Amino acid sequence: MEIRDDVRFKGINPFDKKIWLSSPTMHGEEQKWINDAFEKNWITTAGENINVIEKEVADYIGRKCAVALSCGTAALHLAIKLAAEKLYGMPKAGHGSLEGKKVFCSDMTFDATLNGVLYENGEPIFIDTEYDSWNMDPVALEKAFEMYPEVKLIVVAHLYGSPAKVEEIRKIADEHGALIIEDAAESFGATVNGVQTGCFGDYSIISFNGNKIITGSSGGMLLCDDEEDANKIRKWSTQSREEAPWYQHEELGYNYRMSNIIAGVVRGQLPHLEEHIANKMRIYERYKDGLKDLPIKMNPFLPNTEPNYWLSCLLIDKEAMCETVRGEKKAIYNFESGKSCPTEILEALSAFNTEGRPVWKPMHMQPLYRMHEFITSTGTGRARSNAYIKEKGMVDVGEDIFTRGLCLPSDNKMSVEQQNVIIDIICKCFS
Ligand SMILES: *Cc1c(COP(=O)(O)O)cnc(C)c1O
């Protein structure tokens, strides 16, 4: 209420219907393939929709195999477990496949990127972010290998649809005989030098969560090039049943397979992927143009890449940040004319019935991971506190982007007029 009473916002009315950050955009064909599953009574974790989308997604991305799973997090778990078993062998029952092993992980990301490392009892070491793409910094990764040459696994994400420097990261991985898990959950359809994200990991994953570029309501896929690996993942995801007349188990199993109904939704969405990307690009361009006189920058992408523009984000220039303090769960700021901060903008958007979001809070700042190592391009240290990091003279890029950045409403169904109002609200935050 306070924000709406502010004289700066006079004349702006809240939207009748909420404008979401990124909500599902349905086209009708989804219903057709759901009905098909009903008619054939394949209301289970097997059926034609699953078989078709596995083939279609593998072909689209350019990998030999795709395995349909219940979600991206499950795909990451099994990708990490498969890599771990190749590297370190099969664990004893009750033990994780990464026990006692360090894994280099993206730091500024959704924590699902590395949940699988923890599920397998590994120790994530967080690699700082770089400003060029807002993804893992290859310089910091190189530094990490200088310190821990024994590490054999890297988990790297592409945030907001902008690809990471995966070619550099691949080179570094190869020099150290390390495997890469590529988290392309947010970047389906984005390319690096014309090659789709999802092609750069030894094992890669995408997600069909409700807010992703295309959705199945939920769901995910693991991508790889070896049919034997793909079949192993299919087996693990359906409780690791051996071929026998009874339920025979040699390995630990999971109930991670995708449902044929969800696969029907994905099957109907897939033909619209490029249309969604084109639309998200127009949203990004309109923000870029509409906000060009403000002391902000849009989220970047590398010149040799085509992002999928999943979310438009902005980063406020240092000089234009009003004084702000973020605690563990709350933030406060001082109003200053000509300046703003993510909290003020998010509160203003929310007051007008619009959803924005802070940038992913880096893992090394999370209470869950505070005692884990965090490696930057300029130094290292346990990530005990930001004060410690600063005392050591480290530049903490992830923290800086988290402090100054936010995700803008990027919904496909937002009209140009609505986006113009949103742009107006943001401009007024800086007045
Ligand atoms: C969405 C997302 C995931 C997880 O996918 P789910 O399908 O929701 O389990 C993993 N990593 C990143 C970076 C994501 O954005």
**Alpha-helical runs (H) found in 121-184:** 138-147, 166-175
Quick one: which of 75, 84, 100, 87 has its CA closest to 185? 75
Task: Judge if the beta carbon of residue 407 lies within 6 A of ligand 1.
Answer: no
Task: Judge if the beta carbon of residue 187 lies within 6 A of ligand 1.
Answer: no
Rounded distance between C-alpha atoms, residue 350 and residue 412, angstroms: 18
The verdict on 328 and 267 lying in the same domain is no
Q: Which domain holds residue 14?
A: 5-24+273-429
**271 C-alpha to center of ligand 1: Å?**
21
Rounded distance between C-alpha atoms, residue 397 and residue 411, angstroms: 28
- The tally of domains found in the chain comes to 2
Q: Which two tokens stand for residue 431?
A: 């007045």
Task: Judge if the beta carbon of residue 73 lies within 6 A of ligand 1.
Answer: yes
Closest CA to ligand 1's atom 11 = 113
Closest CA to ligand 1's atom 8 = 209
Task: Judge if the beta carbon of residue 186 lies within 6 A of ligand 1.
Answer: yes
**209 C-alpha to center of ligand 1: Å?**
7
Task: Give me Rg for the CA atoms of the chain.
Answer: 22
The verdict on 227 and 291 lying in the same domain is no
- Could you say which of 253, 271, 289 is where a domain stops? 271
Closest CA to ligand 1's atom 1 = 185
For tokens 């361009």, the residue is 285
Q: Which two tokens stand for residue 153?
A: 């696994």
What was the pLDDT predicted at 371? Answer: 86
> Domain holding 331: CATH number?
3.90.1150.10
Contact 307, 162 (CB under 8 A): yes
As averages over each run of 10 residues, the pLDDT of the chain (431 residues) reads 86 96 98 98 98 98 98 98 97 93 98 97 97 97 96 98 98 98 98 98 98 98 98 97 94 97 98 98 98 98 98 98 91 92 97 97 93 86 62 83 97 98 98 93
The verdict on 78 and 53 lying in the same domain is yes
The verdict on 65 and 14 lying in the same domain is no
Task: Judge if the beta carbon of residue 183 lies within 6 A of ligand 1.
Answer: yes
Quick one: which of 208, 244, 186, 196 has its CA closest to 74? 208
The verdict on 213 and 308 lying in the same domain is no
- Could you say which of 220, 246, 271 is where a domain stops? 271
Atom of ligand 1 nearest to the CA of 159: 13
What was the pLDDT predicted at 387? Answer: 64
The verdict on 246 and 342 lying in the same domain is no
Rounded distance between C-alpha atoms, residue 363 and residue 399, angstroms: 10
The verdict on 185 and 331 lying in the same domain is no
Q: Is 212 marked active-site?
A: yes
**219 C-alpha to center of ligand 1: Å?**
10
The verdict on 373 and 259 lying in the same domain is no
The verdict on 42 and 150 lying in the same domain is yes
Ligand 1 test: best mutation among 107, 136, 207, most atoms within 8 Å of CB? 207
Rounded distance between C-alpha atoms, residue 376 and residue 291, angstroms: 31
What string of DSSP letters covers 61-85?
A: HT-SEEEEESBHHHHHHHHHHHHHH
The verdict on 240 and 317 lying in the same domain is no
